[in-house]
Amino acid sequence: MKGVTSENKPLTATRNLYIETYGCAMNLADSEVVASIMADQNFKTTNIIEEADVIFVNTCSIRDNAEAHIWGRLKEMRPHKRSKPNMIIGVLGCMAERLKTQFLEKEQIIDLVVGPDAYRDIPQLIAQVEDGQKAVNTLLSREETYAEISPVRLSTNGITAYISIMRGCDNMCTFCVVPFTRGRERSRSAASIVNEALDLYRDGYKEVTLLGQNVDSYKELDDAGNTICTFAQLLEKVAQIAPDLRLRFSSSHPKDITDEVLYTMKKYNNICKHIHYPIQSGNTRVLELMNRTYDHEWLKKRLDKIRELMPDCGISTDSISGFCTETEEEHKDTLELFRYGQFNFAYMYQYSERPGTLASRRYPDDIPADVKLRRLQEIITLQHENSKRINAALEGKIVTVLIEGLSKKSAHDLRGRSDQNAIVIFPKEQYEKGQYVKVKIEKSTITSLIGKVIEVIPHP
């Protein structure tokens, strides 16, 4: 079954839907669910905004800059509304959940506002708008997972795809708005996830990424509340579909990367040896303020365990500089952990207070902006040194790559990712998207590896 039908106002004529998606991969997966729901209402997606009858902007609230960009983008859409008065413009996602009716009050072109758990209601909300009313549904749910909706793959390369396996988050990190915009944690059934992955494989996809706000805390429960499938068990079920179906997952919480998960990753060659390991800070006191449930030494020991079991595992991270009351010495603990961790890649940000979070209510945002920026730059500089050194050490080595398509910089080159999630660029020659190849690395940059194909392989 795909999507839902509207009992109020079924649509018969085909119309065009344009979706812009901001933020994380979960938002992209949500946009694909929305496209499926709209397809059942005879809407087809378009990449040309001028053709649209309905425009949806799927939003992100993780940082203030993200929200400011979206407000600016909505202003840019005013001419489209003026030239096509019957066009419907809606705001979806986390920012819609956080601000709710403020969108209708601040931006007249907005017709409907829909939170992440209310996408099934979109056909009814559109019918309400067509009757001359503004429409809002931002109710959060403890059950909604959209498990039986088959997503419409947007901007797909036909090779890689996302599968959303759970929604929401129960961790309550004090800096994070996700529990308030996406609700409590709940998981899809393992059977529905395996079936979606199997369908993708049969359609020619070669790689799936399992998604969740805290993906490794996935657990399927029976009616009595007992766990009947852990994340490690789910990984194994998907890995067993086919040896040439690559498997990745994102995003993790260090506390939930269990030994069971690590041993399962080690067991299956088609589970990529890459773990996202978001430390956020390297200082124990700051981590306690963040409610991250681990400390500096625990992070090191867990890194040691990952590398003991999988010495070649690629590890990436997240960090926040200038969190509330962070001292200069505490910032140095983060730098020290970056040196110890030798992360392949990192998402690095300065602290941005989000209204409604626990930190905004409990702690003063008291680190000056210039200090936050300087500390961030120190982390970035160190990470660039690490990335440059790690990538340079791969020169002369051979890596297995799944070809995803053309390089972003040249139509004469192809790109793909290694098992460890490194971007690899190589001459196009006779090779094609979807092939597995062995590439000998000849040179490197901070962000990518450059080489030449030496062999095509049936699967890794």
CATH number of the domain enclosing 246: 3.80.30.20
Would 150 be classed as within a structural domain? no
Model pLDDT, residue 460: 61
Examine the fold and report which residue of 374, 392, 410 is the final residue of a domain before the chain moves on.
Answer: 392
Reference 320, options 376, 378, 386; nearest CA is 376
Exposure of 451 in the CB half-sphere (CA atoms within 13 A): 28
Largest CA distance in the chain: 65
Instruction: Identify the CATH number of the domain in which residue 112 sits.
Output: 3.40.50.12160
Q: Is the alpha carbon torsion for 157, 160, 166, 172 positive or negative?
A: negative
SS3 194: helix
User: Tokens in use for 288?
Assistant: 């306690």
Dihedral Cα 342, 345, 351, 355, nearest 10 deg: -130
Strands 246-250 and 207-211: parallel
Angle in degrees, CA 322, 328, 331, rounded to 5: 55
366 and 313 in a single domain? The answer is: yes
Residue 163 β-bridge partners: 210
Q: Please report the pLDDT score of residue 395 as a whole number.
A: 98
The whole-number pLDDT of residue 11 equals 45
| Domain shared by 198 and 176, yes or no | yes
Instruction: Give the pLDDT score at 13.
Output: 61
Kindly state whether residues 206 and 288 are assigned to the same domain: yes
Are 103 and 84 found together in one domain?
Answer: yes
Is residue 190 domain-shared with residue 249, that is, in the same domain? yes
Whether residues 279 and 350 fall in one domain: yes
Which DSSP string corresponds to 330-380? HHHHHHHHHHHH--SEEEEEE----TTSHHHHHS---S-HHHHHHHHHHHH
106 shares its domain with 182: no
Please work out, in degrees rounded to the nearest 5, the angle formed at the alpha carbon of residue 242 by the alpha carbons of 236 and 245: 90
> Where are the strands (E) in 237-307, listed by range?
246-250, 274-276
**Residue 263 CB: number of other CB atoms within 10 A?**
12
Q: How many domains does the chain have?
A: 3
Q: Specify the pLDDT at position 22.
A: 94
Final residue of a structural domain among 392, 407, 428: 392
Cβ atoms of 427 and 452 within 8 Å: the answer is yes
147 domain residue, yes or no? no
Q: Are residues 95 and 220 in the same domain?
A: no
Q: What is the pTM of this model?
A: 0.91
Residues 261 and 338 reside in one and the same domain:
yes
Tell me, yes or no, whether 310 and 208 share the same domain. yes
CATH number at residue 418: 2.40.50.140
What residues in the chain have per-residue pLDDT under 70? 1-13, 459-460
Full domain range(s) for residue 418:
398-457
Number of residues that this document lists for the chain: 460
